[in-house]
Structure 1
Amino acid sequence: MTESTQQPVPSTATSEPLRILITGSAGFIGSHLVERFLNEGHTVIGVDNYISGQRSNTELFQEHPRFTFIEADVSYGIPYEGEKLDWVMHFASPASPPHYQQFPVETLMVGAQGTQNGLELAHAHGAGFFLASTSEVYGDPLVHPQPETYWGNVNPIGVRSCYDEAKRYAEAITMAYHRSRGVNIRIIRIFNTYGPRMRPDDGRVVTNFIHQSLSGKGLTVYGDGYQTRSFQYIDDLAEGISRLMRVAYHLPVNLGNPDEYTIMQFAQEIKDLIDPKAEIIFNDMPQDDPKQRKPDISLAKNLIDWQPTISLSSGLGNVIKLFID
């Protein structure tokens, strides 16, 4: 079994109907995957305990004949007893700093026990296992942009460590199940992603700036505003996930937009779209907040012929319209 075998094949859109179980199905990213796979003709089993997911996201698909929902905490098990699964996709976890710092133990558990429970289920069904990891495994990076070969610069006991280390462990146990038990795995490292169905209280810069601008408040910038981020629209991420499912590659793959913005540049983008007169309010930088973040997506380009296609202004326009409506 070769970890780096590359065999590009078509997107899931052209595959035979699959039975896919998605943990975190009521979350922002999870709900978009449910929608995409149902639209492609697949059967989807969603699992969520609503610690950070939204019931409204489940209700979108509740009447669909190929959608089933299980309310459960996957850290304690995945109570699925249905037909043979083709994929187990593990997207359950609080993902924004305010949420995972509110639930640090639960975040660690879903990254550890939740991942193992998903791997056990995949192994029992002979299914593929797809892990949603994160750019946070790189910590406050000393290498820029960040390639998949970079091991990261993470504070293992800091306020962000409950999320960072949960995902690093999740990657480790996923690789262990692949190497020792032959589970057919995929691992993606997701960089900042935004789009419809983000929680209004998400607490990350996209939702913060939009809400602050629409409410006439100043835009809160932490530090001097020269720290950088890259912003990926949800549809681009979903396309990358779909393509990677159909390629025999078992090492991590970055999925993110390499267009890099300082937070001040991003604030100006929001101001231009909503309220050019909005003020900038500076606050202290949070502990261990990364100073720069930009994915190296060379692997994704070569492996699955993928790169983001939706511009920041276009994607933000879509999101702002939904917030206004």
Structure 2
Amino acid sequence: HSYDEAFARYEKITAQVLLTKDDLRSRERFLNARNTMTRLLDWKVIPIVNENDTVAVQELKFGDNDALASMVANLVGADVIVNLTSADGVFDDNPLENPEAAFVPCVENIAELNLQSMCRGKTGAGTGGMLSKLMAARRAASIGVPTLIVSGKQKFVLERVFNLEEIGTWVAPTQKMLSGRKFWLAYHLDPAGTIVVDDGAARALTAKGKSLLAAGVKDVEGNFGMGALVRIAGLDGATVGVGLTNFKAAELRKIQGLSSTEIEKVLGPCPHQEVVHRDNLVLDSSL
């Protein structure tokens, strides 16, 4: 009702759209949501999107509106995200803790930044903060959508933005974009378990673009089936990426550390030699 009244003063019509992760996880519901948003925009109705907190259990929550914004950008094929915050933009350190922190007008390659170190966790109130805004911007950048992070406390800020005034921090899209399918794997599904790999396998995945083979598997956590999305972690516990596994967890425990030629001796004929094929893998730099 508040949005209706506020926009009505400018003769604009709004519609409330409530989403959960489950709405975007199911392909059919994803397309229904996309069609609804497209129809509203065709009618010149402004969608007011929020998380449906009344029905969303913890595992179906986006977590914050920054994450939701990046998902909606993919849903509607957005050209840009304008993320209004309490800060003037992005700084190279947390300005609340370091008064010498320098303002960053443009982030050319967000995939190369250590966001945790820059933000030192959350900045500001609520479930978000600058860390969540930059993580959302990284997601959006991976599908070719730039983000402008700018203070919402400034008067007429949106008019100034769309008049191309240089304010806030511009986060450029990445040169190497994720396919829609890999974006789906990375952000719409939840890992059903974890595969721990040795240092050699981690380097092969991240530096050489290889598939994950059983020889590099050191441990398997969880009980997942073939085709499940799994987290791939290094020996230090850090996430290497996520991907779709070609083997059940029970099978992986039998063949971990084995060469590809030894797998059939243990499991019999297998249609796949790779534990996770590189075409079904999204690395941590894209997450």
- TM class by shorter chain equals 0.3 to 0.5
Given the two structures, how large is their TM-score scaled by the length of structure 2?
A: 0.33
TM-score normalised per structure 1: 0.30
Q: Which has the greater radius of gyration?
A: 2
Q: Which has the higher contact order (CA 8 A, sep 6+)?
A: 1
